[in-house]
Amino acid sequence: MNRKLIQVLVFIGAFSLQAKSADEIILQIKNKLPSLRHDFKQLKSRSEMNLLKEYLDAKYKIDPELRSLFVMIKESDKWVFDNFIAGTFKRESLQTRILEVLPEKHKKGDEILNLFLKLKEDSNLSFGFDGFEQNGCAAPTAFLLIMDNKRGRVDGIDLNPCQE
């Protein structure tokens, strides 16, 4: 096999492992918090803010008027609830944002937090929120968006689901 082809195959394999790794971690988080509503969208965009916009367009496509009310903010340092605001978080604030909203009973030895911190190490991922999201009890909730800028994928996780 020619050397260039081997290098390409190694690169593709490494990318595939990295993507699988993030997917596995997201699945572990979902399994450890089984009452969560998990959202997923495969999109075309490959940049953080465009992914966020495209995610909102896809999520609220049945009500374009509602979608038009959204304001998007970049690098927020806080959650926004019960409002037409979606945004990204500063990467360095992810741990604080998770701890602010994760119910106490789910902080089992910070196991879930550690999974989020593993995701934070992946430079292809960015993190954000949908401030209008509601949990199963129709109450505002912390809905974390995990955006894969390399693959155009957004996973959404309800960090404070309805307990009724």
The residues, ordered by sequence, that sit 6+ positions from 7 with a Cβ below 8 Å of its Cβ are none
Q: What is the rounded average pLDDT for all residues in the chain?
A: 82
Count of structural domains, the chain: 1
**60 occurs within a structural domain:** yes
Q: Which of 61-65, 109-113, 114-118 has the lowest mean pLDDT?
A: 109-113
How large is the average pLDDT for residues 125-152?
A: 90
Q: Which of 80-94, 101-115, 149-163 has the lowest mean pLDDT?
A: 101-115
How large is the average pLDDT for residues 111-125?
A: 87
**163 occurs within a structural domain:** no
The residues, ordered by sequence, that sit 6+ positions from 115 with a Cβ below 8 Å of its Cβ are 25, 28, 29, 32
pLDDT-based confidence at 69, cuts 50/70/90?
very high
pLDDT-based confidence at 129, cuts 50/70/90?
very high
- Compute φ and ψ for 36, nearest 5 degrees: -70, 145
How large is the average pLDDT for residues 111-127?
A: 88
- Report whether pLDDT(163) > 50: yes
**95 occurs within a structural domain:** yes
**59 occurs within a structural domain:** yes
Long-range contacts, 115-123 (Cβ 8 Å, 24+): 115/25, 115/28, 115/29, 115/32, 116/29, 118/25, 119/22, 119/25, 119/26, 119/146, 120/91, 120/94, 120/95, 122/18, 122/21, 122/22
Which domain does 117 fall in, by range? 3-158
pLDDT-based confidence at 19, cuts 50/70/90?
very low
**83 occurs within a structural domain:** yes
**Residues 23-63: pLDDT tens digits?**
899 888 878 776 557 788 999 999 999 999 999 999 999 99
**150 occurs within a structural domain:** yes
**164 occurs within a structural domain:** no
**45 occurs within a structural domain:** yes
Encode burial over 81-90: b for 16+ CB neighbours within 10 A, e otherwise: beebbbbbbe
